[in-house]
Amino acid sequence: MNLPRNRIGWPAILFLAALLYAALPLALDMFRLGLLAKYLCFSLAAIGIVLFWGYGGILSLGQGIFFGMGNYFMGMYLKLEATSQSDSAQALSQFYGSALPDFMVWNSVEQLPWWWEPFKYLAPTLLAILILPPLLAFVLAYANFRKRVGGVYFSIVTLSLSAILSIVIIGQQGYTGGINGITDFKTFAGFDLEDDRVRYTLYYLTATLVLIALMLGQFVINSRLGKVLVAIRDREDRVRFSGYDPALFKAGIFAIGALLASLGGALFTLQFWFASPSLVGIVPSIEMVIYAAVGGRLSLIGAVYGTLVVSAAKTFFSENFPELWLFLIGALFIGVTMFLPQGLAGLFARLRGRRSQAGTEENPAAVGPSVAGVAGPGEAVPPPREVAEARIDRAPGAVGGAEA
């Protein structure tokens, strides 16, 4: 099996850390830094997509489900905290005689729903963000993969579920805020969300979680789990005949992707102060896949750069070409698909390969003659499968070999 190698070196991690911790915060004002924090929230979901799409062969078009779950769970906690502390919310409660969020009062909801009750407290909220999305993802994925529902069919299932969840949220206005979502957050655990120090802290927390996600993702890829996932992606039947349960492994990596998306959604709520069905449906789910594709679906760090490039392009085009920006974004996606099928990571690898080839041509003595499937200077490298077949054919007693 030809296992792909796309490791993140420490220089790449340190360079990204220098960008996120020093260069960009010093160069950007608070508004632009907030936009960068938004991009990083979505990059967490893109890293998860690289894990289960690039290495697990699972294309999900419904990551907005899990991003939205983290978004709404945190929004419910912040809304209940704002309702108990805000002067305007307390005045509204006294007027209507009910200490409920404003959108519930306006929709004649008389009692806080039972499933809102745990979100009065921070600890259950954090547990819900960390446990419920990956648990739902695992059950959903295992139920489908156990029945051999995969490929494009699984993509359609996740796409449909994201659309359904968005419609349900909009329809249940009295309990979810409807199309307006949940807004008007003031504090988080007593800290003022509009304070610049809090905003800087949340930005650095987001950047740190992105770097941790990259390192954990690389650990998974290099582990036995990563090798089994690649084997399942390439030859699932052979892995099944070897005694492994592919559905279990695929559901596990899909759950990890859901966890990263949920964390991104929760951090988005803290920094942009709203939870909305527009973050749950089809459009954001497909955009997250685009982020991973532009960066390179086999590159974890490429997912971060892909998110930054696409999101920055959206912001630039929408600000400077408000009537044309959708067409320009479409042209960008088409151009990447046609000319960069392996994304930004593939472009970087190609440029690095040309530089290495130029160094080899300057010093040809550094490369020895070809042996056993290793090409010498000017020779083409045969695919690993052809090398293996050639060795089998030359083996004594092999069928079709010289001594058969």
- For the chain, the residue count is 404
Q: What's the N-to-C CA distance of the chain in angstroms?
A: 26
Residue 370 burial (10 A CB sphere; 0-12, 13-18, 19+): middle
Q: What was the pLDDT predicted at 16?
A: 95
Domain positions in the chain are 10-350
How far is CA 268 from its chain centroid?
Answer: 13
Confidence band (pLDDT; 50, 70, 90) for 96?
A: low
Residue bearing the bigger pLDDT, 82 or 357 = 82
Average pLDDT value for residue range 124-150: 95
Q: How far apart are CA 152 and CA 394, in angstroms?
A: 41
Question: Model confidence over 323-368: pLDDT tens digits?
Answer: 887 787 778 778 877 888 888 888 887 777 776 666 655 565 544 4
Residue 75 and residue 275 in contact, taking contact as beta carbons nearer than 8 Å: yes
Predicted TM-score (pTM) of this structure: 0.84
- The pLDDT mean for the chain works out to 84
Between the alpha carbon of residue 11 and those of residues 100, 105, 305, 309, the distances in Å are 51, 54, 15, 20
Q: How far apart are CA 318 and CA 42, in angstroms?
A: 18
